[in-house]
Structure 1
Amino acid sequence: MGGSDYTPPLWLRSPHVQTILASSPWRRRRGARALAATGAVTTEHLVDGGDGVRLHGLHSVVRGTEPRGLALLLHGWEGSTESSYMRQTAAHMLRAGYEVFRLNFRDHGDSHHLNQAIFHSNRIDEVVHAAVDIAARFASRPMIAAGYSLGGNFALRLALRAPAAGLQLAGVAAVCPVIDPARTMLHMERGHRMYLRHFERTWRASLRRKRDLFPDHHVFDDATLQLGMRELTDWLVQTHTDFGTLDNYFDGYSVAGERLSSLQVPVDILMSADDPVIPLDAFHALALPAHARLEISRWGGHCGFLLDRHLDGFAERWVTERLGAHADAAREATARTRLATAVHAGTSQPPL
């Protein structure tokens, strides 16, 4: 574990200012301009999540160049491929020479119609399956991945499952990831209520949209949608999962304690000490292998890390640098292996 060299100006040292401005319309527009300025061609894709599941995503590449690799980007809960941090990170990765695939989780972005069942945070299998499909479609190697908030949690679980899935993942970066979901719920309930209200409002809208699209399958009433976050999550667990209890559900996607100790994929984690959504104590209790690094910044809010009045971000640059280092290391390892194989083949030839 180490510190971060992120130091914002004084007026950006409030975690609430950081968090609110990070997801503001101004920053989303700035992200759109940054992405457009790369000159990349972006195309929509439906990818295979297994068992008939379809997930939507956006692939971007600068034509006429040979990509240095493929970066898979995962958004946070109730975010999308068009979230400001997704656009900004994609722009940074494209400028660094990578092609980028931004994946929407089920029921995020404009994808509610693709699958009948409702999204929940334990749907990691379909994200792993989708990542394997994406890797097969776009042959650029190495493949690297990054996620923010809940997307950071998914990225860490993707790293854990990559070897068994046959996914050649060179490295992962996670920004303010959910580590312990049960503690995160408590942290939001005890903290500033505007964050809990924001997630309640956006989740309710998502569920209404799902009900409108599949009225014969989703018959919950408006009273259900008015439940608070904890009660609504418990309803989800009881009616749309096999976990049985809220504690079992939270435990299902927790990466707390020793759970990341078996990581085989190199991982970098960036967290802010003043995050108003994700509690810091779970990070201090993490057991990480030697090839995983945790950086904790004094400031940053929740997925903010803004640098100036232009709302430029430290986190997007950090992700690009860390993933680039992992990709470089993977390329060098591949080159060494090929050289060793060639030398061995050459020395094993009989003399002429």
Structure 2
Amino acid sequence: MPILTSSYNPLLLFKNGHFSTIYSGKIRKVHGVEQERQTITTPDDDFLDIDWSYSKNKSNKLTVILHGLEGNAQRPYVTGSAKIFNKNNYDVASLNYRGCSGSQNKKFRSYHSGDSQELAWLVKYLIENFPYTEIVLKGFSLGANVILKYLGEEEVPNKIKAAIAVSAPCDLHGSMLEIHKTKNYLYALRFKKSLLQKLKHKQEQFPDKISNSDLKNIITLKDFDDFYTSQAHGFKNALDYYEKSSSLQVLESIKVPTLILNAANDSFLSKSCYPYKQAEENNSLFLEVPKYGGHVGFYDANNTYYNEKRAIEFLNSVF
């Protein structure tokens, strides 16, 4: 599929990738989205919290939204997307990963960038318990990679009609190297602080598995992935986790119409996170690389972001 030409051209300030990223993550507010929480039990006797929002009219269409690292279903990029989907007659199920809903999950494991099996189970649950005939997936950052990996390696039900992946770190190792660079120091520090806080809660739950010295030895995000993410989820180490969890290796197998929207000035993404070759060779894979947008930024007029408008446009073009 030819690479898509982007029309995104924001106001001057938002052409700066860092400003776009920070404003959209820390300053933006979204109003008018009413969410109802549903807690469901997972096959391993843990739980997931889903925050639902609904179209004004009865709908047979559902969008499942997946947030990014250390996010949740109340982040403005999630609620902004939910709002426009609701206006376009989609119900929305916004997932909170294990431990991200405000309640600590029960198991030692939590969530990770390649957890396509959890998404596969959730999709199966939704299909079996709700009468939706069309399901769309939309993910941001970590959630975008999860969706792409799911679409490329799982047997996808016919009810899954399309997907949108925003700021997708298709190559997790490349993205890890980028986020450890000086330009991303403050982002990495913020992520590490949040992850370590959760790990301290895990220590309270599982004192035999986490010591104080273990916590002190975590200096970088890769250290966190070496000690916790990889070990809690069945990988040898961080590098094994990055290799096996990256969606880049399965993009060629995606058969559902899928849009990847990755800004050229996204400081979190390495060159390998822009899958030009895979998009050119796969008729179901659409790659759009706007010059601007930062990481999960894409500010646009009237507080409706470009990725939100673009998702609706894309769906209208492929249905």
Give the TM-score normalised by structure 1.
0.82
Q: 2:32 aligns with which of 31, 34, 41?
A: 34
Q: What residue in structure 1 maps to residue 256 of structure 2?
A: 265
Counterpart contact for 2:113–2:143, Cα < 8 Å? no
CA change 1:180–1:286 in 2 (3 A) is farther
- Structure 2: state its 5+ residue gaps: none
Alignment-mate amino acid for residue 205 of structure 1: Q
Deviating more after overlay: 218-227 vs 274-283: 218-227
Q: 2:173 aligns with which of 178, 182, 194?
A: 182
**What secondary structure does 1:73 align onto?**
strand
Deviating more after overlay: 222-231 vs 93-102: 222-231
CA change 1:312–1:285 in 2 (3 A) is closer
Residue 95 of structure 1 and its aligned partner are, at CA, apart by 0.5
Q: Which has the higher contact order (CA 8 A, sep 6+)?
A: 2
Number of matched residues?
313
Counterpart contact for 2:72–2:100, Cα < 8 Å? yes
CA change 1:206–1:322 in 2 (3 A) is farther
Equivalent residues in 2 for 1:233-252, closer than 5 Å: 233-236=225-228, 239-252=231-244
Whole-angstrom CA distance in 2 between matches of 1:279 and 1:286 = 15
Q: What residue in structure 1 maps to residue 22 of structure 2?
A: 20
Residue 10 of structure 1 and its aligned partner are, at CA, apart by 1.1
Q: What residue in structure 1 maps to residue 123 of structure 2?
A: 131
Q: What residue in structure 2 maps to residue 8 of structure 1?
A: 10
Show CA shifts across 1:8-63 (max 9, x none): 01121110100000111x41xx21x1325xxxxx3211235433342111122135
Whole-angstrom CA distance in 2 between matches of 1:236 and 1:268 = 32
* CA-based RMSD: 2.2
Percent of aligned pairs with the same amino acid: 21
Whole-angstrom CA distance in 2 between matches of 1:177 and 1:152 = 5
Equivalent residues in 2 for 1:257-296, closer than 5 Å: 258-288=249-279, 289-296=282-289
Counterpart contact for 2:4–2:287, Cα < 8 Å? yes
Show CA shifts across 1:152-182 (max 9, x none): 00111222245x2546210000001110010
Residue 229 of structure 1 and its aligned partner are, at CA, apart by 1.4
Q: Does 1:155 align with 2:147?
A: yes
Residue 286 of structure 1 and its aligned partner are, at CA, apart by 4.3
Alignment-mate amino acid for residue 211 of structure 1: Q
**What secondary structure does 2:146 align onto?**
helix
Counterpart contact for 2:36–2:53, Cα < 8 Å? yes
Q: What residue in structure 1 maps to residue 76 of structure 2?
A: 84
Counterpart contact for 2:276–2:287, Cα < 8 Å? no
CA change 1:238–1:68 in 2 (3 A) is closer
Counterpart contact for 1:86–1:102, Cα < 8 Å? yes
Whole-angstrom CA distance in 1 between matches of 2:259 and 2:42 = 26
Alignment-mate amino acid for residue 15 of structure 2: R
Give the TM-score normalised by structure 2.
0.90
CA change 1:22–1:237 in 2 (3 A) is closer
Counterpart contact for 1:149–1:176, Cα < 8 Å? yes
